[in-house]
A and B are shown apart, each in its own frame.
Chain A
Amino acid sequence: MAADPREDDLPSKPPVWNDPRVRALVFQIVIVVAVSAFGYYLFDNTLTNLEKRGITTGFGFLDSQASFGIIQTLVEYSETSTYGRTFIVGLLNTLLVSGLGIVLATLLGFIIGIARLSSNWLIAKLAAAYVEIFRNIPLLLQIFFWYFAVLRALPSPRQSHDLGGAVFLNLRGLYLPRPLFEPGFGFVFAALIAAIAGSIFIARWARRRQEATGQQFHTIYTSIGLILGLPLLTFLALGAPLAWELPELRGFNFQGGIPVIPELSALLVALSIYTAAFIAEIVRAGILAVSHGQTEAAHALGLRPGLTLRLVIIPQAMRVIIPPLTSQYLNLTKNSSLATAIGYPDLVSVFAGTTLNQTGQAVEVIAMTMGVYLTISLVISLLMNWYNKRKTLVER
Chain B
Amino acid sequence: MSKLRIMAAGTALALLASGTTAQAGATLDSVKQKGHVQCGVSTGIPGFSSADDKGNWTGIDVDVCRAVAAAVLGDANAVKYTPLTAKERLTALQSGEIDMLSRNTTWTATRDSSLGINFTGVNYYDGQGFLVTKNLGVKSALELNGASVCIQSGTTTELNLSDYFRAKKMEFQPVVFDTSDQTIKGFEAGRCDVLTSDQSQLYALRIKLADPNSAMVLPEVISKEPLGPVVRQGDDQWFNVVKWTLFAMVNAEELGITSANVDGMKTGTDPNVKRLLGTEGDIGVGMGLGNDWAYNIVKQVGNYGEMFERNVGKGSPLGIERGLNALWTNGGLQYAPPIR
Contacts and interface: CB of A to CB of B under 8 A. Distances in A.
A354 B154 contact: yes
Contact of A354 (B24, B114, B146, B158): B158
Interface stretch (A49-57, A113-121, A221-229, A269-277): A49-57
Contacts of A262: 191
Contact of A253 (B116, B146, B161): B146
Q: How large is the interface on A (under 10, 10 to 19, 20 to 34, 35 or more residues)?
A: 35 or more
B235 to A, nearest CB: 10
A30 interface: yes
Contacts of A360: 90-91, 94, 110-111, 114-116
Interface in A18-67: 27, 30-31, 34, 37-38, 41, 45, 49-50, 52-56, 67
Contacts of B191: 151, 171-172, 262
Contact of A45 (B21, B148, B178, B234): B21
Given A53-B234, A55-B116, A251 B146 contact: yes
Interface string B141-180: 0001111100001110011011100100000111111100
Q: Which of A172, A262, A359 has the most CB of B within 10 A?
A: A172
Contacts of B3: 27
Interface stretch (A9-17, A205-213, A341-349): A341-349
A171 B233 CA distance: 46
Given A34-B11, A362-B94, A69 B174 contact: yes
A53 B11 contact: no
A357 B176 contact: no
Contacts of B176: 71, 343, 345, 349, 353-354
Contacts of A341: 178, 182
A25 to B, nearest CB: 12
Contacts of A356: 87, 91, 154
Interface in A63-115: 67-71, 79
A34 B14 contact: yes
B181 to A, nearest CB: 12
Contact of B158 (A37, A68, A152, A251): A68
Contacts of B11: 34
A54 B148 contact: no
Main secondary structure of the interface of A (DSSP, over half): helix
Contacts, number: 138
A151 B18 contact: no
Contacts of B210: none
A150 to B, nearest CB: 10
Contact of B148 (A38, A253, A357, A359): A253
A54 B193 contact: no
A250 interface: yes
Interface string A335-378: 00000111101000100011011111010000000000000000
Given A31-B7, A34-B7, A151-B189, A71 B175 contact: yes
Interface string B177-202: 11000100110011101000000000
Q: Which of A30, A55, A70 has the most CB of B within 10 A?
A: A55
Contacts of B109: none
Interface string A279-301: 00000000000000000000000
A69 B149 CA distance: 11
Given A52-B234, A362-B94, A343 B177 contact: yes
A386 interface: no
B10 interface: yes
Interface string B102-143: 000000001100111000000000000000000000000000
A105 B90 CA distance: 38
Contacts of B86: 357
A53 B10 contact: no
A41 B14 contact: yes
A263 B150 CA distance: 13
Nearest to B86: A357
A351 B210 CA distance: 33
A172 B189 contact: no
A262 B189 CA distance: 12
A151 B190 contact: yes
Report the 3 A-B pairs with minimum CB-CB distance, sorted nearest first.
Answer: A357-B154, A360-B115, A55-B116
Interface of B: 3, 7, 10-11, 14, 18, 21-22, 24, 86-87, 90-91, 94, 110-111, 114-116, 144-148, 153-155, 158-159, 161-163, 166, 172-178, 182, 185-186, 189-191, 193, 232-234
18 contacts: A41-B14, A49-B21, A49-B22, A53-B94, A55-B115, A67-B163, A68-B159, A69-B172, A71-B173, A79-B163, A152-B189, A252-B147, A262-B191, A343-B186, A353-B153, A354-B176, A358-B110, A360-B114
